Structure 1
Amino acid sequence: MPATPARPQLLIFDVNETLLDLGKLQLAINQEFKSETAFKQWFALLLQYSLVDTVTGNYHNFGQIGDGALDMLAQGLGQPARPAPRKKELLALIAELPPHPDIIPGLTALQQAGFRMITLTNSPDATVQKQMAYAGLTGFFEQLLSIDALRRYKPHPDTYHSACERLRVAPAQAMLVAAHGWDTAGAQLAGLQAAFIARPGQQTYPLAPAPTLTGPTLPHIARQLLGK
């Protein structure tokens, strides 16, 4: 069994799918486009074109890209583009998502153990504030950070470094907690530790370093951090 890594001074949590269950949004998009794969296609487009914006310096916030991705999804499925009010209704659901069942127990254990915790999300500032309030998670976090001010999306190294600088913690003393292999890869390649929550359907990137910690739920990660 590998040695337990040094206790991180800061835990940086991804939000969408890591903390929050996207099931409500997934169901709505799949029903809207009458396809069981519509949500996965839309989310892949959202991530792909956030990276296009980052690489080209042509920044739009996550909501704007999500709106454009709905148009691209409709086109790809051979369907008409949805009216702006309907797209707004669908996208508004991202601020009304519950936490995964494991999240409050896991965050509670980590908070009681004295860990400093923040969020770092690709969603805009206003969105993450609404998300955390709706999910009842705000009180667990020292700060709710977004990449919006930086105008670069994760997994750009600057996103992780900026969060560490803001909290005055060296990258090696910080750990990203995420359910996305691209996110844990980005954090580790930026010099951070990473914990991967292996939610169903999620995989790590085999060409990146293996996550520092891996577990099926946040309590599993918490127990490893606490040496239990």
Structure 2
Amino acid sequence: MNRRPKVAFLDVNETLSDLRSVVGAFEAQGLSAEHVRTWYLSVLRDGFASTVLGDNPGYAAIGQEIAKFLIREVDPARDDDAVDDGAAAIMTAMVAAQPHSDVVPGLVALANTGVRVMTLSNGSADVAKKLLGSTPADAAVEKYLSVIDAGAWKPAPASYRHGLMESGVAAADALMVAVHPWDLEGARRVGLRTAWINRSGARWPSLFAPPDVEAESFTALALEIGQTAD
């Protein structure tokens, strides 16, 4: 990246939040650690499908239904009230998920480079606020944004345009940061630059154009952005 962005939009679920921190809540309902990722990918699937169909459902509403489905799948004999309670416990845990270890220092460092920082989530803005609100990173975040106000889930163009409207920044001066290649591809097609947080050392999928920046953590991303010209 040869020019510093004016604003960085951050994906929240899995990019900022560490899904490993909710494994215990799934296991308490008879599910396994693997079900956490199944739950998450299923929520994305149904959210994407709803967006294609012209709807804009709440992340939590989909999440609760997926949790119920998974609980019934592993324990068909459980009564409806117990299933509802189990799904509610899972959703409570999701709201209380913890950030990855690199997130708080990385966001503070990113804001210190002069880049404005905003979250842009398919989930609730309140959940993102809860994730960071009691940490030093809260002061680094200018706005917590959700696609519920955009009318469409990411990677629909309207979601990124909502972020641009809220920031007052042109697409070419904005950076989308995520662990998800599909999210970055959606942003790229609207004209934003992209940064891939690749904590696992995965290979970028050839289906999408490569990101402008690849970093192993938010702290590494902040260091790289800090070395670019204004």
Q: Give the TM-score taking structure 1 as reference length.
A: 0.89
Matches within 5 A, 1:61-210: 61-77=58-74, 79=76, 80=78, 83-200=83-200, 204-210=204-210
In the TM superposition, what is the alpha-carbon distance from 1:66 to its structure 2 partner? 0.2
2:227 matches 1:227: yes
Which residue identity is paired with 2:55?
N
Deviations 1:63-121 (A, max 9, x none): 00001111332355564565222211210122222221112221222222211111101
Q: Quick one: structure 1 residues 56 and 203, their matched pair in 2 at CA, closer, same or farther if it must change by over 3 Å?
A: farther
In the TM superposition, what is the alpha-carbon distance from 1:201 to its structure 2 partner? 7.8
In the TM superposition, what is the alpha-carbon distance from 1:134 to its structure 2 partner? 4.3
Q: Which residue of 2 aligns with 1:28?
A: 25
From 41, 45, 49, the equivalent of 2:42 is 45
The answer to whether the 8 Å contact 1:97/1:135 transfers is no
Q: Quick one: structure 1 residues 66 and 135, their matched pair in 2 at CA, closer, same or farther if it must change by over 3 Å?
A: farther
Q: Distance in 2 between matches of 1:201 and 1:24?
A: 21
Which secondary structure does the structure 1 equivalent of 2:177 belong to?
A: strand
Q: Distance in 2 between matches of 1:63 and 1:135?
A: 23
Q: Distance in 1 between matches of 2:19 and 2:46?
A: 19
In the TM superposition, what is the alpha-carbon distance from 1:60 to its structure 2 partner? 1.9
Report the number of matched residues: 225
Which secondary structure does the structure 2 equivalent of 1:210 belong to?
A: coil
Q: Distance in 1 between matches of 2:207 and 2:225?
A: 25
> What RMSD over aligned residues (CA atoms) do the two structures have, in Å?
2.1
In the TM superposition, what is the alpha-carbon distance from 1:226 to its structure 2 partner? 2.0
Q: Which residue of 2 aligns with 1:7?
A: 4
Q: Which residue of 1 aligns with 2:56?
A: 59
Q: Which has the higher contact order (CA 8 A, sep 6+)?
A: 2
In the TM superposition, what is the alpha-carbon distance from 1:194 to its structure 2 partner? 0.7
Q: Give the TM-score taking structure 2 as reference length.
A: 0.88
Q: Quick one: structure 1 residues 151 and 41, their matched pair in 2 at CA, closer, same or farther if it must change by over 3 Å?
A: same
